[in-house]
Amino acid sequence: MASKFRLIFQLLLISCTTAAAQGVFFEAISVEGTARVQRARKQQIEAITVGTRLSDNDLVETSLQSKILLRFGDNNLIIVAPNTKVLFNIASKEIDKGIITDVRLTLFGGGIFTKAISNCHISFHSPNAVGEMDSGAVSMVTDTKNGETGFQVLNGLVQVRNIAQSKSMPLRYGLTTMILPNREPTAPLYITHRHVAVLKHNFGAEYIANELNTSGIEPTEDYGSASRLGSSSKLSAAFADSSDPGMHKSTFSLNKVYGSLQRAQESFRFYEPITRQQNATSNKGYLKFHYSLGIFSGGANSGFALIPSIHLPSLHTALQFSFNQNVSSSMNSGFSSASGILDKIQYFRLGNLSDSTFISLGKIEDYSLGYGLIVDHFSNQDPNRIFNSAGINVQIQKADVLNIKAFLGNLTNPFYGGTYVSYSPAAHTIGVGYYFDFDLYKVKYDPDEFRYELMETVDDSIADHLNPAHSHIYEIDLATEIFFVNDLKMNILFEFAQKIQGGNDGIVARIPTMLWDIRRMQLGASLVVETKRLLSSHFSPFYLSNRYRVKKDQSGFHNDTVYTQNNYLSKKRQSTGLAFTFKTNPVKGLDLEIYYKQDFLSKNTLDLIHSNQGHDSALNVPGDFTVLLNCRVNDTLVPFIKYGEIYFQQYHGRLFPADASIFLSWGMQSGINLVTRPLFKRLSFEAGGRLLYIDRNHDNSVGGKDLIFEILLGMQWGFL
């Protein structure tokens, strides 16, 4: 029987194109000894034989001399060791690259070996431990009495953590770790000969030997490691010494299976944001049609866009062919300029956003780096332009420890961007960033591409050698976990950034930021200090609106004035305030987020520029503030809504311009976005609207004349 088991296993690994096991179930392809299953909705226990299919919520128990081999999805494998009790969950899941098999294995005692080959995600659970992997080979053993859990990785990488923690530890192939009650995973050790002996006993000698040989793992000697074997040695002893050849004596009970373990898991669930979804399903192809209408004082203009897209495993691309009315009411297709042509690339991405490494060309929206001190929800889309050139953003991640991100905002005007590198060993994170704008006066505007108001560049603007055209900012962050007790976690963050040109041109510091995670809530508070010509959230959604502005001279006696963030803010500026964060998931499928920053001490806020006489005077604008409100839902809460949000944003609500106030500034926008699930033959619908202000009169003053109301209606059809 054992040779038959080995033969079937080896043939299965060679034949990875077998057509079976494509559904959301587990199929028994080899059975040794006696194994039984308790179905989720039945009271009787059934014997497992070759061909038996296990479904979601089935509970499996093996006896002392039994072992079963299961297959699921695209030839992914599970071995259930002798004397094991495990609960199986399985479902299809939609991700960016298609549909995968999502598996959850809850181990109450004994051991399981899992080999993930393709198109799946596997999570492991025990009373003390949680593990996650997408591909690889790993064994998991759990002591029935105390829940001590061990992981041994023979291929790939597994993220492991204590069930009471949120931050995982990467465990690479050739390493093992133990997770004890209320403790972090122990420091990884190399797999020893003693570990290998236990693995061979539980899961088959020839197969474990083949896996070790394939991965190139050389077991180490056992010196000094006996005390670290923990549940592996206990499990081996239990297999060898048990005198009960039958099943576990406990009968199946839903309350027993789900009871205390599930309640504990639910109580340790922390806040999780709902991410924006643009596609209603996981089809490989989409065809979208959008109609937009912009209403402003004195008129309205419209636009049309046809957007085909293709999604392959590691390649995603969407083109947008748009026809928009400009400020003179003429239709423009965008084929006559570089920015118009690059605007047709909505995105071209190699790799997946959910993966560790990718490069993306196209729109950049809602983009943050680090903890958002400098780059905070940045967008490279200028609302006053009918075409916006594509940008680039890149991410490289190594073993969930080293993360590198970078962006360039505009390919036709490649002057601003940045990079951020973070290193996260254990419960600590160190981050370093550098951001730049090489020339704030470098703007390339095609007069036919303005939507609401013509913006002219000024060649004879006031000369000011004291205000450089460039901007260079560095950032240093440090975050660490202070404590983690049951369902309460506390982190502390130190963030510092400095603008460097001609020495110190301004600093921003959030020192410290205290973050508390309590069940489904996250609370934060921080002290914020800003000086000179650097703002928190420097690269915000409104960066392009305030990067370069022209104030026209109304008297006829002076030149027009160009405002940039280098000459608009005073070199004597000082500001101190407090910031508060509240995020929560009150119910599944609902995400609420509130951020509020209020300055309570400020002076010498803005420079006064009236002429070319060179005098240096400043205007004090007290009480600057930033407020972000977001409410997001998905189909977990409302079945027919793939994604919906209502939002309000106002960044630096007293600075742009100086007469701004709550709800009235060039850094304010509010709106709604909605994408439905397919309602008719893979046809979904989109709708959105927003209110915002832009500087239409070029008088450095905001009012009703600057108000813009935009409407978006669309539909999308999924195919392939």
Q: CB within 8 A of 512, min separation 6: which ones?
A: 492, 493, 494, 526, 527
pLDDT digit string (tens) for 73-106?
878 899 998 889 999 999 888 777 678 889 999 9
Instruction: Tell me, yes or no, whether 340 and 198 share the same domain.
Output: no
Query: What local confidence, expressed as pLDDT, does residue 435 receive?
Result: 97
Is the distance from CB of 72 to CB of 21 less than 8 angstroms? yes
Decide if 201 is inside a domain. Answer: yes
Following CA atoms 258, 259, 263, 266 in sequence, which dihedral angle do they give, to the nearest 10 degrees? Answer: 10
Instruction: Tell me, yes or no, whether 116 and 183 share the same domain.
Output: yes
pTM of the model: 0.67
Nearest to 87, CA basis, from 71, 102, 103: 103
Instruction: Tell me, yes or no, whether 403 and 466 share the same domain.
Output: yes
- Give dist(CA 391, CA 414) in Å, integer: 9
Decide if 259 is inside a domain. Answer: no
pLDDT at residue 620 above 80?
A: yes
Decide if 272 is inside a domain. Answer: no
Nearest to 712, CA basis, from 692, 685, 693: 685
Instruction: Tell me, yes or no, whether 341 and 213 share the same domain.
Output: no
Q: What are phi and psi of 39, to 5 degrees?
A: -65, 150
Instruction: Tell me, yes or no, whether 358 and 217 share the same domain.
Output: no
pLDDT at residue 49 above 60?
A: yes
Query: What local confidence, expressed as pLDDT, does residue 246 receive?
Result: 36
pLDDT at residue 2 above 70?
A: no
Based on the structure, what is the number of domains in the chain? 2
Decide if 398 is inside a domain. Answer: yes
Q: Where are the alpha helices (DSSP H) in 548-608?
A: 565-568
Q: Span 353-376, mean pLDDT?
A: 88
Beta strands in 43-143 (DSSP E): 45-47, 53-54, 58-62, 67-72, 76-80, 85-95, 98-116, 120-125, 129-133, 136-142
Residue recorded with tokens 């000459």? 567
Decide if 619 is inside a domain. Answer: yes
pLDDT at residue 346 above 50?
A: yes
| CATH number for 715 | 2.40.160
Is the distance from CB of 429 to CB of 422 less than 8 angstroms? yes
Nearest to 544, CA basis, from 356, 288, 365: 365
Query: What local confidence, expressed as pLDDT, does residue 101 receive?
Result: 87
Radius of gyration of the chain (CA): 30
- Give dist(CA 384, CA 710) in Å, integer: 12
Instruction: Tell me, yes or no, whether 151 and 202 share the same domain.
Output: yes
Instruction: Tell me, yes or no, whether 713 and 623 share the same domain.
Output: yes
pLDDT digit string (tens) for 682-717?
899 999 999 999 988 888 888 888 999 999 999 999
Decide if 270 is inside a domain. Answer: no
% pLDDT > 90, the chain:
40
pLDDT digit string (tens) for 144-168?
877 889 999 998 899 999 988 878 8
Question: Within 10 A of 330 (CB to CB), how many other CB atoms are there?
Answer: 10
Instruction: Tell me, yes or no, whether 227 and 357 share the same domain.
Output: no
Decide if 265 is inside a domain. Answer: no
Of residues 98 and 614, which shows the higher confidence score?
A: 98
Q: What are phi and psi of 518, to 5 degrees?
A: -130, 105
pLDDT band at 430 (very low <50, low <70, confident <90, very high): very high
Q: Span 316-338, mean pLDDT?
A: 90
Decide if 258 is inside a domain. Answer: no
pLDDT band at 309 (very low <50, low <70, confident <90, very high): very high
pLDDT digit string (tens) for 496-540?
999 998 788 899 999 899 999 888 899 999 999 999 999 999 999
Q: Which domain holds residue 696?
A: 285-719
Is the distance from CB of 442 to CB of 486 less than 8 angstroms? no
- Which tokens go with 492? 């502390």
| CATH number for 233 | 2.60.120.1440
Instruction: Tell me, yes or no, whether 560 and 693 share the same domain.
Output: yes
Of residues 201 and 171, which shows the higher confidence score?
A: 171
